[in-house]
Chains A and B, each alone.
Chain A
Amino acid sequence: MENINKISGDLLKYTSVDVSHCYQCGKCTAGCVLASEMNFPPSYLMRLLQTGTEENYERILRSNTIWLCLNCENCLGRCPMEIDIPKVMDYLREQSLNKKKLHPDAKPIVAFHKSFLDSIKYTGRLYEVGLIAGFKARSFRLTQDVKLAPKMYMNGKLHLMPEMIKDIKGVGKIFSKTIDNPKTKNK
């Protein structure tokens, strides 16, 4: 249909989700475990998307909603219209990052994700010590979980040295072709 606006149109193209299906029943919000912590809950986010205005879209990208969403999929599991809200959230997160419109609350969460991915890029697997170090450097939470680390080490759950995979180059290439690819930044 030619009368679909750009925001809904792009969303449809990249996630196959048609926002016009949402009839604002609120079942997603009712079952969302973190709705009370969000700037606005998932059903409200869907309504903002439905309006199709740049102003409301900006509100969404700058919200903490998209970063607090855990992708637990409870919403999709109960939605009578089977709207893939988690997929929409992933898409909005990528957009929020690419357009550099991050909510301040999201900074530690993004810091964690970035440190996690760095660990994979450099070793092929999760290197917990590297992850924590990177996270602390990015978030300045220097004393967080300090008490926990020794106990983890005693329980044999913390490796001091990373385990590198053989084909680390192959993994590095995956990164350079996707998230580190400057061409795909402004989708």
Chain B
Amino acid sequence: MKIGFYPGCSLKGSSREYNESVVAIAKALDIELVEIKDWNCCGATAAHSMNEELSLSLPARILALAEAQGLKEVVVPCAACYNRLMVTQHELKDDKKRSRVTDIIEMPYSGDLKIINVLQMLETYAMDKIKEKVTKPFAHKVACYYGCLLIRPHKILQFDRVEDPQSMDAMIKLIGGSPIDWAFKTECCGAGFSVSRTDLVAKLSGNILQDAADRKAEAIIVACPMCQSNLDMRRGAINETLSKPSDIPVIFITQAIGLALGVSPKELGLERHFVTVKL
């Protein structure tokens, strides 16, 4: 089956392995990803922190492109892009805002596109296939970290539940893993402060790693490039705040599934991580 695909900037750059793993398991599960042509950046945190109209127009252009290219459904692996696109679609239900934004982007926009995140894509189209095709059960005790933007604001996203979400946990169980019950599933990792306030990222991501380590998790599973980057790339800064430095790897849910389906670690981009992935 075919589905529209919006990779977003991080999948093309600093979270390249997320892209690689999404493409790899899509192939293994017979899902054809049709990338939106000439897509632009969604604006992420910077746009909505600085100017409301900009923050709605950039995603609106993406949605308008997808509609113009005949796509009905688009999967957005990056949690931040998913959040921005969903929120924009919701805000543009208001007639005044929609008319202003369509003036700005100078493109027709209907708002009928179905936007899903990678977990929803797997839940809707691939659960049975995954179950059949598991060749190397992912027998590890892991902490599933959802972050903020996949789950909140619940009223708009309507995905999983705000406290103690379970969708990734269910997927880990499906591929033979043991997700642990822990306390930091949805506490922010420090998000866009990676560069401007690395100290805060170290503190917040440190808390997350500490709890996972205390509960003996062998890995942290994520579905957001920002979270992965903060927990992985910034491990050096984080370790300075911890009483005992941690070497727990942080991998994407798609990489975990890929491993279970027998895809090679190289194809899944596991060698691009900062903290060595030995699973």
A and B touch in the complex (CB under 8 A): yes
Quick one: which of B14, B149, B196 contacts A109, CB cutoff 8 A? B196
Bound CA–CA A110/B9 (angstroms): 20
B45 at the interface (CB under 8 A from A): yes
Q: Are A72 and B197 in contact (CB under 8 A)?
A: no
Among A86, A108, A177, the one with the most B-chain Cβ atoms within 10 Å of its Cβ is A177
Quick one: which of B40, B162, B200 contacts A125, CB cutoff 8 A? B40
Q: Are A135 and B204 in contact (CB under 8 A)?
A: no
A48 at the interface (CB under 8 A from B): no
Quick one: which of A33, A126, A167, A177 contacts B13, CB cutoff 8 A? A126
Q: Are A111 and B196 in contact (CB under 8 A)?
A: yes
- In the assembled complex, how far is the CB of residue A134 from the closest CB belonging to chain B, in whole angstroms? 11
| B273, closest chain A residue (CB) | A155
B50 at the interface (CB under 8 A from A): yes
A81 at the interface (CB under 8 A from B): no
A174 at the interface (CB under 8 A from B): yes
Quick one: which of A94, A174, A177 contacts B50, CB cutoff 8 A? A94
Q: Are B57 and A174 in contact (CB under 8 A)?
A: yes
A3 at the interface (CB under 8 A from B): no
Q: Are B46 and A178 in contact (CB under 8 A)?
A: no
The interface-forming segment of A22-30, A39-47, A53-61, A113-121 is: A113-121
A10 at the interface (CB under 8 A from B): no
In the bound complex, residues from chain B placing their C-beta under 8 Å from that of A68 are 197, 200
- In the assembled complex, how far is the CB of residue A36 from the closest CB belonging to chain B, in whole angstroms? 10
- Per the CB 8 Å criterion, the residue count for chain B at the interface is 59
B49 at the interface (CB under 8 A from A): yes
Quick one: which of A77, A120, A151, A167 contacts B38, CB cutoff 8 A? A167
Bound CA–CA A185/B35 (angstroms): 36
Chain A, interface residues (CB within 8 Å), range:
35 or more
- In the assembled complex, how far is the CB of residue A96 from the closest CB belonging to chain B, in whole angstroms? 10
| A123, closest chain B residue (CB) | B41
Quick one: which of B10, B14, B105, B188 contacts A152, CB cutoff 8 A? B14
Q: Are B40 and A109 in contact (CB under 8 A)?
A: no
Q: Are A112 and B14 in contact (CB under 8 A)?
A: no
A157 at the interface (CB under 8 A from B): yes
With A72-B152, A155-B274 already in contact, the answer to whether A120 and B52 are too (CB < 8 A) is: no
| A171, closest chain B residue (CB) | B40
A2 at the interface (CB under 8 A from B): no
Extra contacts, 8 of them, besides A114-B50, A177-B53 (Cβ < 8 A), are A73-B152, A93-B50, A125-B40, A151-B274, A155-B271, A156-B16, A165-B38, A179-B50
Some 13 contacts from A to B, beta carbons below 8 A apart, are: A14-B52, A34-B204, A97-B50, A108-B196, A112-B195, A126-B10, A126-B41, A151-B274, A155-B271, A156-B272, A174-B104, A174-B105, A178-B57
